[in-house]
Structure 1
Amino acid sequence: MRNRTLCRATLCAFVLILALLPLSGATPEFWITQLNYIGLASLVVVGLVLLTGVGGLTSFGQAAFVGIGAYTTAWLTTQAGWSPWLTLLAGLVITAVLAWIIGVITLRLSGHYLPLSTLAWCLSLYYLFGNLEWLGRNDGISGIQPLSLFGWSLGSGRSIYYLIWFCVLLSVWATLNLLGSRPGRAIRALRGGAGMAEAFGVNTAAYKTVIFVYAAMLASVSGWLYAHMQRAVSPSPFGLNYGIEYLFMAVVGGAAHVWGAILGSAVILGLKDQIQNIVPKLLDTSTNIEMIVFGVLLVLMLQYAAQGLWPGLSAFWRRLWRVRGTSLPVTATVIDPAAAELPCRVRPEKGSLVLEVDHIRKQFGGLVAVNDISFRVRAGEIVGLIGPNGAGKSTTFNLVSGILPLTSGEVRFLGQRISGRSAREIAQTGMGRTFQHVQLLPEMSVLENVALGAHLRSHVSVPAGILRLDRAREASLLKEAARQLERVGLGAYLHEQAGNLALGQQRLLEIARALAADPVLLLLDEPAAGLRYREKQELAAVLSQLREEGMSILLVEHDMDFVMRLTNHLVVMDFGSWLAEGSPEEIQRHPAVLEAYLGGVEEGDEA
């Protein structure tokens, strides 16, 4: 939960100090220049926070996008006579197109291949800047005209200062708005929850490209400002060293915290200046050793402050206010009861065929995990998929929901063939699921986790999220998420971090998230695992109510008492193969099932 009053008071104080510094005659020109460079770096690092800290996509190449913005305005203003304000738009368009092309090619890579690819195109653009004759080669372009606004020249450091910091604060505002929207929840799921997000209809590839282009455009704005502040550009500030430095600023400030971008930029540039001035005098050397110092600092950061400086600073600030006796109300997201209801799917007629699994098979090399399994699920019934550990139940779930591709066989849902489709495409048809191993976003609130499940029930563009034009639709999403949490008994935990819940509560949270998708078929993978007896009874009541409403449910569960009391029909698997099928009463007496579970019974014993 956020203490909004404290945040607003701190922000107002910060903006006031920024505004007054250049007006004071006592503020040295060096400080203004240093603050300008901090602002320029902050623009780049805000984009890196979204790309790397939030989205989990490591990039060493942001300095190249700074160069694109700088060289675009430099060439167009000096050679083509364009207005600098038009060159800003031109630079943004060129950067967006190049970033989109690079992103489509490189963002498919995973692991260490993605950072390596960013190194490659950063070096490529850097050498391109230094070797093209019409860009001035290594000498660059000079004589760039200063900016002017309504007749007021921004040629001095004190005058352009306000424009730089306006852009910085605007970028922070836009990024925070984006992260607090429906697209923002999808972006926050990219790091550590992409597979889960795909199962709820999130186009993770598209969102990766979006944040890649967004971060590049912020870097381009920084380059445009840099060119008109310096009045000249050359390749040296757009090389790999600066790309690494920007990433280091994000790590030091707090890679997952937007305001940490400004803090990290200030700390690194301040240290860099002091190291260049003090260390040579102490060691009696002119060698440039700041990278060595930064390397040691990074090791210490990872050891003692892995989340960066911002979380510790903000916690200290909150404690400081409490010590001084300031009573500030703690507030959280308010659920609007008057928000419009989200559209709901039309339920199929009770008893009609919803899911048809026909001889599906899955092989991992020579291992047959699922061997020609077939079963049916009809509208308004609960079907249990049971069997000993390792029987292939969860693999079957993953085949039905598109997480894993079929080796052979066919799956039909609501009369349409869905085998061969992606998990995202299957989610769009009306299938929701939970997972055998809980897959949540632990740093997001319980409410936001469930709202992610309703991703497909509302459509909000990235620009609408940035400009806060989505408030009505966002209110509807949060209202639906709160309703589903109340339904599963988690209404008191709306604003708790999901990672703070007990395992049983996390499983209930997963069910609420699946229900928020308004599915026709609900796939529950061990929903009662970790629940206490009373919680299981409450869950059974919820599932029974859903059945009465016409929802179809397919569940995997090891608690036989829970399964036998709840299901209409059971399918038994053993070693990946179909073993038996029937009503709970028939399965309890089936000899093959008793053999699989109990090793058989002596002749004459009752089942």
Structure 2
Amino acid sequence: MTTATSRVPSIRMPLGSSRWRRWVPFLVLTIALVVFPLVASTSMVNVGVYALIYGLAAIGLSLLMGLAGQVSLGHAAFFAVGGYTQALLVTKAEWPMWPAAVVSTLAAMAVALLVGLPLLRLRGHFLALATLGLGIIVTVVVRELDITGGTSGLYGIPKPEFGGRLYNSAQEYFWLLAPFVVVGLLLATNLVRSRTGRALGAVNDSEVAAECLGVDTFALRLRVFVLAAGYAGLAGVFYAHWLAVVSPEAAGFELSVEMLLMVVLGGLGTVWGAVTGAVAVSAMDEGARDLISAIIPGASGEVQLIAFGVVLVLVIILVPGGLAQLWQQATGRLRGFSAARGAHSTRSEREGAAPAAAPAALGGLLLGADLPERGSALLTVRHLTKQYGGVTALAQLELDVGAGEIVALIGPNGAGKTTAFNMISGVLPPTSGTVTLRGREVQGQRPHVAASLGATRTFQNLQVFGSTTVLGNVKVARHLRSRAGLLRGMAGLARSEERAIDTAAREALDALGLSEHADRPVADLPFGMQRQVEIARALALGPALVMLDEPMAGLSGPERTGLSRLLREASAAGVAVLIVEHDVEAVLALADRVAVLDDGHLIAMGSPDEIRNDPAVIAAYLGVAAEDESLVRQAAARVEGEVTS
């Protein structure tokens, strides 16, 4: 998720202050990791070693589940791939530890790439079951192969050597692991704040809206799946050297459940929660072994697995946000207490404040957009048809939209307007017909393809990204206008690009008069403002074609006037506007041309004045009597002939 800074000068932090504040948790963590082995008992340090190993794997799983929204029940499979590859390289091939560790981590990522290509086309519980099957497959393979040691596994793995020092004690191994966990956590945190992190957070909130802004959801999810496997593979490397043996249990379902519990207990959506959850589960694991053995003598690991399952269910029911939720509630109360002390003065300032600023002009927002020459062909729709079994939702639609033109698509409820939008934007594949954008046929392709050609849309049913702020929503729209990938995002090397994204997003908010709400969670806004955020988001993409599905629904009179002015300004700049709206008089006053649908058929096309006086349109809106149905059919045939000619 993105975190935006306020534009109000009186509360803006100094330039370097937020950056330093971001480093404070890492400094505290580093000090804690250095001091812990000095003050804790040997048994506690042992638990700490396991917590760091599993925490490294949990960071990757947290990215996969919290950021990409993909549930994995077989994360331990990649952990085992890393461990077994490391064991083979250092024991049989006699490789040094560190080159072998690089290859082992890459091996886990390669396996994730191979299995992710088919698996990530699944969704929800289907994907969870598929990853569970992956864990079972890896367990069976390493158990049956002689090269992996069968049921006994591979043993004799040496302790690490680094800087002329042998790390053979719990204390030293803890200190060896600590930098990898801190750096891994830092890289993951950077990723969450990056262009890739924003896009994946948007996908998690609304995949269709993210796709319509140019986000290739499958490619992004695949990258994070591979990255998560890399974290797990590296954790498996350290696991193998710590135990000096790696066995089939390293890929077992029990370990996958433990990792899942770490992420859920720590809090989905926060990589810090993964480390916190790993510490909590490792401590609970140690205690559960002693407790279960005392209660049920001779109890096996299956009983412990049941205990983990019970804890997982209780966390989901009682504290769905995990430990991160408890922390946010505690700090929120403290902030609320501090804010309450100055509530009276703040309230007085608000009461005397000036009204919200009027919407600004589009300004330079569209300067970088790739707009075709005004009046040139931009969108061409031919014979577009959608059938659901024996029902035809849209029949043989013919439509042209030129650059800089405002075209309205109107008609009674159920006429097929949104269906047409969905097929043009790629949300739905057509039964037949073609959609051509800037000379390229895009029908049946994913929405990000249309977005890459400069076409985006809003939705009749709001599709805002509820997990982030108003500004964070609009920043996602700049995905296609920026280039920083996963690695640059993790390394924090896209600061200049981030500043450009922030500037463009704020210009879009200025254009809708939403600047003062930039830092508010979008879910806290009323319906009309959320509708405006969607429009600002669409304009922030810098589109050549923007499709607005009932954009005036929920807006006040002044807001409608401001939106109409903004759309005329966009049209004058060369942006084509295709609008679906039930407020007929509003669109007739706005549009250059109007297309009328009724019962899936195009029955009229022309200027607003022509549409006002068209008998077929009047009949469609007033309700067609049985004896007048021929009028609509004749109108549809006439319009189709005019468009084709």
| 2:50 alignment partner in structure 1 | 37
| 1:448 alignment partner in structure 2 | 472
Going from structure 1 to structure 2, the CA distance change for 1:120 and 1:239 (only over 3 Å counts) comes to: same
Q: How far apart are the structure 2 equivalents of 1:12 and 1:526? A: 50
Q: What letter corresponds to residue 325 of structure 2 in structure 1?
A: P
| 1:412 alignment partner in structure 2 | 436
Instruction: Give, in angstroms, the shift of residue 321 of structure 1.
Output: 7.6
| 2:324 alignment partner in structure 1 | 310
Q: What letter corresponds to residue 218 of structure 2 in structure 1?
A: A
Residue of structure 1 aligned with 2:462, choices 434, 438, 452: 438
SS of the aligned residue for 2:480 comes to helix
Going from structure 1 to structure 2, the CA distance change for 1:564 and 1:324 (only over 3 Å counts) comes to: closer
| 2:637 alignment partner in structure 1 | none
Correspondences of 1:131-530 after superposition (within 5 Å): 131-281=144-294, 283=295, 285-288=297-300, 289-317=303-331, 319=333, 344-530=368-554
Residue of structure 2 aligned with 1:597, choices 610, 621, 635: 621
Asked if 2 retains the 8 angstrom alpha-carbon contact of 1:342 and 1:458, the reply is: no
Q: How far apart are the structure 2 equivalents of 1:481 and 1:108? A: 31
Q: How far apart are the structure 2 equivalents of 1:498 and 1:346? A: 29
- The answer to whether the aligner puts 1:17 opposite 2:32 as a matched pair is yes
| 1:332 alignment partner in structure 2 | none
Instruction: Give, in angstroms, the shift of residue 218 of structure 1.
Output: 0.4
- The answer to whether the aligner puts 1:531 opposite 2:546 as a matched pair is no
Going from structure 1 to structure 2, the CA distance change for 1:565 and 1:270 (only over 3 Å counts) comes to: same
Instruction: Give, in angstroms, the shift of residue 528 of structure 1.
Output: 0.6
Asked if 1 retains the 8 angstrom alpha-carbon contact of 2:201 and 2:467, the reply is: no
Q: What letter corresponds to residue 602 of structure 2 in structure 1?
A: W
CA deviation profile, 1:482-524 (whole Å, cap 9, x unmatched): 1111111111121221212211111111111111111111111
Correspondences of 1:50-199 after superposition (within 5 Å): 50-199=63-212
Going from structure 1 to structure 2, the CA distance change for 1:349 and 1:236 (only over 3 Å counts) comes to: closer
SS of the aligned residue for 1:134 comes to coil
Asked if 2 retains the 8 angstrom alpha-carbon contact of 1:100 and 1:213, the reply is: yes
SS of the aligned residue for 1:375 comes to strand
- The answer to whether the aligner puts 1:557 opposite 2:569 as a matched pair is no
Q: What letter corresponds to residue 316 of structure 2 in structure 1?
A: L
CA deviation profile, 1:255-312 (whole Å, cap 9, x unmatched): 221111112112222222222223443x364424333333332232222211212121
Comparing 415-424 and 489-498, the one that deviates more: 415-424
CA deviation profile, 1:46-86 (whole Å, cap 9, x unmatched): 11111112212111111121111111221211111110001
Asked if 2 retains the 8 angstrom alpha-carbon contact of 1:402 and 1:421, the reply is: yes
SS of the aligned residue for 1:344 comes to coil
Unpaired runs of at least 5, structure 1? 328-339, 602-607
CA deviation profile, 1:3-62 (whole Å, cap 9, x unmatched): 9576654543332122112233xx210111111111111111111111112212111111
Asked if 2 retains the 8 angstrom alpha-carbon contact of 1:526 and 1:557, the reply is: yes
Going from structure 1 to structure 2, the CA distance change for 1:582 and 1:522 (only over 3 Å counts) comes to: same
Going from structure 1 to structure 2, the CA distance change for 1:81 and 1:10 (only over 3 Å counts) comes to: closer
Q: What letter corresponds to residue 391 of structure 2 in structure 1?
A: L
Q: How far apart are the structure 2 equivalents of 1:293 and 1:219? A: 24
Q: How far apart are the structure 2 equivalents of 1:277 and 1:342? A: 65
SS of the aligned residue for 1:457 comes to coil
| 1:604 alignment partner in structure 2 | none
Asked if 1 retains the 8 angstrom alpha-carbon contact of 2:215 and 2:479, the reply is: yes
CA deviation profile, 1:152-197 (whole Å, cap 9, x unmatched): 2212111111221211111111111111111111222332422222
Going from structure 1 to structure 2, the CA distance change for 1:164 and 1:323 (only over 3 Å counts) comes to: farther
Going from structure 1 to structure 2, the CA distance change for 1:82 and 1:429 (only over 3 Å counts) comes to: same
Q: How far apart are the structure 2 equivalents of 1:223 and 1:207? A: 24
SS of the aligned residue for 2:508 comes to helix
CA deviation profile, 1:400-433 (whole Å, cap 9, x unmatched): 1222222222223334433344322221111121
Going from structure 1 to structure 2, the CA distance change for 1:156 and 1:460 (only over 3 Å counts) comes to: same
Q: How far apart are the structure 2 equivalents of 1:312 and 1:36? A: 26
Going from structure 1 to structure 2, the CA distance change for 1:60 and 1:535 (only over 3 Å counts) comes to: same
Asked if 1 retains the 8 angstrom alpha-carbon contact of 2:254 and 2:305, the reply is: no
Going from structure 1 to structure 2, the CA distance change for 1:61 and 1:535 (only over 3 Å counts) comes to: same
| 2:571 alignment partner in structure 1 | 547
Residue of structure 2 aligned with 1:583, choices 607, 616, 622: 607
CA deviation profile, 1:203-251 (whole Å, cap 9, x unmatched): 1111111111111110111111111112222222321111112112211
Asked if 2 retains the 8 angstrom alpha-carbon contact of 1:55 and 1:189, the reply is: no
Q: How far apart are the structure 2 equivalents of 1:313 and 1:477? A: 31
Q: What letter corresponds to residue 312 of structure 1 in structure 2?
A: L
SS of the aligned residue for 2:124 comes to coil
SS of the aligned residue for 2:147 comes to helix
Q: How far apart are the structure 1 equivalents of 2:125 and 2:444? A: 29
Residue identity (%): 35
Q: How far apart are the structure 2 equivalents of 1:250 and 1:404? A: 35
Count of equivalent residues: 587
CA deviation profile, 1:303-351 (whole Å, cap 9, x unmatched): 22112121212431454588799x9xxxxxxxxxxxx989723433333
Q: How far apart are the structure 2 equivalents of 1:476 and 1:164? A: 37
Q: How far apart are the structure 2 equivalents of 1:481 and 1:2? A: 11
Asked if 2 retains the 8 angstrom alpha-carbon contact of 1:342 and 1:480, the reply is: no
Asked if 2 retains the 8 angstrom alpha-carbon contact of 1:49 and 1:257, the reply is: yes
SS of the aligned residue for 1:135 comes to coil
Q: How far apart are the structure 2 equivalents of 1:157 and 1:227? A: 14
Asked if 1 retains the 8 angstrom alpha-carbon contact of 2:203 and 2:217, the reply is: yes
Unpaired runs of at least 5, structure 2? 6-17, 342-363, 626-645
Asked if 2 retains the 8 angstrom alpha-carbon contact of 1:342 and 1:477, the reply is: no
Going from structure 1 to structure 2, the CA distance change for 1:460 and 1:287 (only over 3 Å counts) comes to: same
Asked if 1 retains the 8 angstrom alpha-carbon contact of 2:70 and 2:124, the reply is: no
Asked if 2 retains the 8 angstrom alpha-carbon contact of 1:591 and 1:600, the reply is: no
Q: How far apart are the structure 2 equivalents of 1:265 and 1:21? A: 16
Q: How far apart are the structure 2 equivalents of 1:279 and 1:138? A: 26
Q: What letter corresponds to residue 349 of structure 1 in structure 2?
A: E
Asked if 2 retains the 8 angstrom alpha-carbon contact of 1:342 and 1:457, the reply is: no
Comparing 220-229 and 140-149, the one that deviates more: 140-149
Q: What letter corresponds to residue 524 of structure 1 in structure 2?
A: L
Q: How far apart are the structure 1 equivalents of 2:333 and 2:510? A: 33
Q: What letter corresponds to residue 125 of structure 2 in structure 1?
A: H
Going from structure 1 to structure 2, the CA distance change for 1:528 and 1:278 (only over 3 Å counts) comes to: same
TM-score in terms of structure 2 length? 0.86
Q: What letter corresponds to residue 370 of structure 1 in structure 2?
A: L
SS of the aligned residue for 1:112 comes to helix
SS of the aligned residue for 2:53 comes to helix
CA deviation profile, 1:518-575 (whole Å, cap 9, x unmatched): 1111111111111111111111111111112121111000112321221111111111
